[in-house]
């Protein structure tokens, strides 16, 4: 069995920018690994995270995607494009059949006199949710017209072409849709040089993940990392790479350093009590929190933050 050594990276910070956006800071990295990890995580996040989308639909009174429907402002192609923008969260891997039935009454018409039909009008079973219920499907311009639609929602990864979607349709009389399953909308990464003590030949990777609301950025990030681990593990054979602590940590005292209690850090009583009152009892609990997380702690002010940052720097965390 071949054995080689290389130090491991750490997820130093997770900054929540919004409900659908977060920033992940990974450091310290062996030089060159910033782009290696950043590019691989970005590609997997954009292509391989599990999601759900409409793969086929039907409109009563229409038999193909190039038809115009009396009573509907849009043609079928426009409706198809709108359906692709609906974001679903499915709780089952089985295909889900959905229905929509709505009348174009004037009481709920827009300023043009047309009834707006949105994703929130779709009847949903417990197995599926819609993240953007205000997504427009079409407009009914005839108050007497009743729109009846049926949909098939399926789970998958990446992109399903209309040819494959058509070949695998649950119902052959439905119109197939090329489906975008990925719930990750955008991924950006930045690589910067960093240092730990006297070691300056290190890098920091900052990865920003935006999702559609059907999955949290943190869950998407962890799923992407797990996919890469599984793929590389299958290729590694009998070769084992022993992980060593990141620069700034000694292998012998890595665990003990993280397990040091807050009371033993010699912080001021006010700062220590604020941490303990927020259920932060060890250095391990402390280093998992970002600066933003610390600012949001009850009873934790700027002076306490500065004191904690100084102490963590002193401990090489």
CATH classification for the domain delimited by 249-317, as one of 1.10.150.20, 3.30.540.10, 2.40.30.10, 1.20.120.330:
1.10.150.20
Average pLDDT of the chain to the nearest whole number: 84
Contact assessment for residue 34 and residue 193, using Cβ atoms and an 8 Å cutoff: no
CA–CA gap between residue 255 and residue 288 (Å, rounded)? 14
Task: Report the candidate in 102, 100, 115 with the shortest Cα–Cα distance to residue 151.
Answer: 100
Per-residue pLDDT tens for 27-41?
888 888 899 999 999
CA–CA gap between residue 165 and residue 151 (Å, rounded)? 13
Domains 50-180 and 249-317 in one fold: no
Q: Kindly tell me if the per-residue pLDDT of 294 is higher than 70.
A: yes
Between residues 23 and 317, the one the model is more confident about: 23
String of b and e for 54-73 (b: at least 16 CB within 10 Å)? Answer: bbbbbbeebeebeeebebbb
Q: What is the 3-class SS of 108-171, one letter each residue?
A: HECCCCCEEEEHHHCECCCCEEECCCCCEEEEECCCCCEEEEEEEEEEEECEECHHHHHHCCCC
Q: What is the CATH number of domain 8-49+183-238?
A: 3.30.1360.10
pLDDT band at 1 (very low <50, low <70, confident <90, very high): very low
At residue 166, the pLDDT reads 66
Q: Kindly tell me if the per-residue pLDDT of 242 is higher than 60.
A: yes
Q: Kindly tell me if the per-residue pLDDT of 255 is higher than 60.
A: no
Alpha helices by DSSP H, 157-250: 162-167, 217-235
Q: Which sequence spans correspond to the domains of the chain?
A: 8-49+183-238, 50-180, 249-317
Cβ neighbours around 166 below 10 Å, total = 16
Q: Kindly tell me if the per-residue pLDDT of 83 is higher than 60.
A: yes
Question: Maximum distance among all alpha carbons in the chain?
Answer: 77
| SS3 state of residue 27 | strand
**What is the share, in percent, of the chain residues with pLDDT greater than 90?**
43
Per-residue pLDDT tens for 153-192?
999 999 888 777 666 666 778 888 889 999 999 999 999 9
Instruction: Name the CATH superfamily, with its identifier, for domain 50-180.
Output: DNA-directed RNA polymerase, insert domain (2.170.120.12)
Contact assessment for residue 131 and residue 213, using Cβ atoms and an 8 Å cutoff: yes
Report the number of secondary-structure helices (H) and strands (E) in the chain: 9, 16
Q: Kindly tell me if the per-residue pLDDT of 94 is higher than 90.
A: yes
Q: Kindly tell me if the per-residue pLDDT of 250 is higher than 60.
A: no
| 175 CB-contact burial (10 Å; exposed 0-12 / middle 13-18 / buried 19+) | buried
CA–CA gap between residue 249 and residue 256 (Å, rounded)? 11
**What is the share, in percent, of the chain residues with pLDDT greater than 70?**
86
């Amino acid at each position: 069995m071949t054995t080689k050594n290389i130090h491991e990276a750490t997820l130093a910070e997770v900054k929540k920018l919004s409900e659908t956006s977060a920033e992940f800071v990974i450091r310290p990295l062996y030089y060159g690994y910033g782009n290696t990890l950043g590019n691989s995580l970005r590609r997997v996040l954009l292509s391989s995270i599990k999601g759900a989308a409409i793969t086929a639909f039907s409109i009563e009174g229409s038999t193909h995607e190039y038809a115009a429907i009396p009573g509907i402002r849009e043609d079928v192609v426009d409706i198809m494009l709108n359906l692709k923008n609906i974001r679903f969260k499915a709780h089952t891997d089985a295909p889900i059949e959905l229905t929509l039935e709505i009348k174009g009454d004037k009481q709920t018409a827009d300023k043009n006199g047309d009834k707006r039909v949105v994703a929130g009008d779709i009847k949903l079973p417990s197995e599926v949710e819609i993240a953007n219920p205000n997504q427009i499907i079409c407009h009914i311009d005839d108050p007497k017209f009743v729109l009846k639609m049926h949909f098939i929602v399926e789970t998958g990864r990446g992109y399903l072409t209309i040819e494959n979607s058509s070949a695998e349709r649950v119902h052959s009389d439905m119109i197939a849709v090329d489906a975008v399953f990925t719930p990750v909308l955008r991924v950006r990464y930045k690589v910067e040089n960093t240092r730990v003590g006297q070691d300056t030949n290190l890098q920091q990777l900052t990865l920003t993940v935006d999702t559609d609301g059907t999955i949290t950025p943190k869950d998407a990030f962890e799923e992407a990392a797990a996919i890469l681990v599984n793929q590389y593990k299958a290729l590694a054979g009998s070769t084992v790479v022993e992980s060593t602590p990141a620069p700034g940590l000694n292998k012998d005292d890595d665990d003990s350093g993280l397990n040091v209690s807050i009371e033993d850090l010699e912080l001021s009583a006010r700062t220590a009590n604020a941490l303990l009152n927020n259920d932060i009892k060890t250095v391990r609990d402390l280093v998992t929190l970002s600066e933003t997380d610390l600012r949001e702690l009850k009873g934790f002010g700027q002076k306490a933050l500065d004191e904690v940052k100084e102490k963590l720097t002193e401990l090489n965390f």
